[in-house]
């Protein structure tokens, strides 16, 4: 199993450009999520999904869109990049979340380092 | 919304000293998870605590969950240079997992 795969590893964008960060997992996990990590701010949840066709907003959703058309893929779209979106982005997945009072451990991808100039 | 607060933000120790990081939630947690992120790496799951007052050990690491299930701690005995990294706690908020800001540990030999 490859686990959680994120592409690209590095990306530089100009203000106003759009792009999609890709995330794929091969563990048949129901739950997938996107976090951004900034110095001193920890990991902040952007969007998450508890299954195909279901998405929801996290703590910092503005400026980002997601969709979940398959169990395996959970792309994150930046609609119009801004310097404030310069960050390291992590995709994470886990087994089963709906209706459970517990969380299964999150499996993280290696991250995408995004710079917006 | 739910907040998970972690202190201290940074800690530097000499190799062999002990280290503790604390996690506090504004609401009662159903469970809490701990992760470690090495410099330049991604967070890796360490452990999950579920029961009130639960204590779990992994070699030199001791994890505790408070009686009220609103706080938790991670204690490392006799730190080693391999313990360097950022330690995060994470608590469940609805369906999602909310992370604290982390404690970055540096160790000098």
d(CA A22, CA A7): 5
pLDDT of B1 higher than 70: no
Is A38 in a helix, a strand, or coil? strand
pLDDT value at B53 more than 60: yes
Chain B window 38-67: which residues touch A at a Cβ cutoff of 8 Å? 41-45, 48, 50
Q: What is the mean pLDDT of chain A?
A: 93
- pLDDT, one tens digit per residue, over B60-74 is 999 999 999 999 999
Tell me the nearest-neighbour CA distance from A79 into chain B, angstroms.
Answer: 23
pLDDT above 90 (res A108): yes
**pLDDT, tens only, B63-107:** 999 999 999 999 999 999 999 999 999 987 667 788 999 999 999
Which tens digits make up the pLDDT trace of B16-42? Answer: 999 999 999 988 888 899 999 999 999
Residue B2 is encoded by which pair of tokens? 């739910």
Q: Tens digits of per-residue pLDDT, A49-104? A: 989 999 999 999 999 999 999 999 999 999 999 999 999 999 999 987 554 555 68
SS3 B82: helix
Q: Give the pLDDT confidence score for residue B3 in this predicted structure.
A: 82
Tokens linked to A57: 């907003």
Residues on chain B touching A98 (C-beta within 8 angstroms): 95
């Amino acid at each position: 199993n490859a686990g959680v795969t994120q592409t690209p590893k590095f990306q530089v964008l100009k203000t106003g450009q759009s792009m999609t960060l890709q995330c794929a997992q091969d563990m048949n996990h129901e739950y997938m999520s996107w976090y951004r990590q900034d110095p001193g701010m920890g990991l902040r949840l952007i969007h998450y999904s508890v299954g195909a066709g279901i998405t929801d907003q996290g703590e910092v959703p503005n400026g980002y869109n997601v969709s979940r058309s398959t169990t395996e893929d959970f792309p994150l779209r930046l609609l119009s990049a801004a310097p404030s979106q310069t960050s390291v982005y992590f995709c994470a997945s886990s087994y089963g979340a709906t209706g459970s009072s517990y969380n299964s451990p999150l499996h993280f991808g290696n991250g995408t380092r995004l710079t917006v100039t | 919304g739910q907040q998970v607060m972690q202190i201290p933000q940074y800690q530097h120790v000499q190799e062999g000293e002990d280290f503790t990081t604390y996690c506090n939630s504004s609401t009662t947690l159903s469970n809490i998870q701990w992760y470690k992120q090495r410099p330049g790496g991604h967070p890796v799951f360490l452990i999950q605590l579920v029961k009130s007052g639960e204590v779990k050990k992994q070699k030199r690491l001791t994890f505790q969950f408070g009686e009220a299930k609103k706080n938790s701690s991670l204690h490392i005995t006799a730190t080693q240079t391999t313990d360097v990294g950022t330690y995060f706690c994470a608590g469940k908020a609805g369906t999602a997992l909310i992370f604290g800001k982390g404690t970055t540990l540096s160790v000098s030999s």
